[in-house]
């Protein structure tokens, strides 16, 4: 770490931000990709989303979310109608580019334009979305849009026990920052929260990594990746170790 500059009193202070302007709050702009589209959540998405979620063999994917599982379609429809009207979290449906069906959820939250900070979360990937190029592309589209709007910091948080979420954050290029002990309470449980982030200076390298990984040339005839995303996000160069 380089030595910080000091003020007139000899105290270390952070760098100035000449010309930086606070970004706007995100709106309901749809984000379009090759494998999926990230579109504003609407009540009309509820039925197809419920059908996609119903393909899951059990309810384990709701364990670390503050809501769900939903016992009945009507309960889920009511929840979608409610959260689709919110602006923080600003919830989106992840829609398959193949057939236009909604297959997952994601959101911006903790939206703080004055600090240039925004979080991605409220992630639910149905069986149709998990471990697909579309799932990764959805996260890329959300991150790209945030930095293009002018945000300086992009956050990911997870229950400290949620190993798949922690691993996903690292695969996507986030840096682990630490654990906030007893940070919150949900579903009657205490939660330690693991914090991750990407900052704007890191985005150009990560953007190249995502672009390389998402290129159809990175997949063989059976859809298997040739270069792992983790290799690209950790090094920034194809094939580098």
| Residue of 172, 95, 176, 107 whose CA lies nearest to 146 | 107
Mean pLDDT of the chain: 95
The domain 26-235: what is its CATH number?
Answer: 3.40.630.30
Structure confidence at residue 239 (pLDDT): 38
What proportion of the chain, given as a percentage, has pLDDT over 70? 96
Q: What is the pLDDT of residues 132-172, one digit of tens each?
A: 999 999 999 999 999 999 999 999 999 999 999 999 999 99
Task: Tell me how far apart the alpha carbons of residues 235 and 231 are, in angstroms, rounded to a whole number.
Answer: 6
3-state secondary structure of 227: coil
Task: Tell me how far apart the alpha carbons of residues 141 and 89 are, in angstroms, rounded to a whole number.
Answer: 17
Q: Is the pLDDT of residue 109 over 90?
A: yes
Q: Is the pLDDT of residue 124 over 50?
A: yes
Task: Tell me how far apart the alpha carbons of residues 36 and 103 are, in angstroms, rounded to a whole number.
Answer: 9
Domain range summary for the chain, segments of one domain joined by + = 26-235
């Amino acid at each position: 770490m380089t030595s910080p500059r000091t003020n007139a009193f000899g105290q270390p202070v952070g760098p100035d931000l000449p010309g930086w302007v606070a970004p706007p709050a995100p709106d309901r702009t749809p984000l379009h990709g090759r494998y999926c589209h990230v579109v504003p959540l609407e009540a009309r998405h509820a039925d197809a989303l419920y059908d996609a979620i119903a393909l899951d063999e059990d309810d384990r994917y709701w364990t670390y979310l503050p809501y769900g599982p939903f016992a009945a379609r009507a309960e889920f429809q009511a929840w979608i109608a409610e959260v689709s009207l919110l602006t923080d979290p600003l919830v989106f449906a992840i829609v398959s580019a193949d057939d236009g069906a909604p297959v997952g959820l994601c959101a911006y939250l903790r939206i703080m334009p004055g600090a240039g900070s925004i979080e991605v979360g409220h992630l639910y990937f149905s069986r149709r979305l998990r471990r697909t190029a579309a799932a990764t592309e959805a996260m890329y589209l959300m991150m790209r849009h945030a930095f293009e709007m002018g945000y300086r910091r992009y956050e990911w948080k997870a229950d400290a026990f949620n190993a798949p979420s922690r691993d996903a954050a690292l695969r996507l290029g986030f840096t682990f920052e630490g654990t906030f002990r007893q940070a919150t309470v949900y579903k009657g449980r205490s939660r330690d929260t693991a914090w991750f982030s990407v900052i704007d200076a890191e985005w150009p390298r990560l953007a190249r990594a995502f672009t390389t990984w998402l290129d159809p040339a990175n997949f063989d005839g059976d859809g298997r990746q040739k270069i792992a995303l983790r290799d690209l996000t950790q090094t920034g160069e194809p094939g580098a170790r």
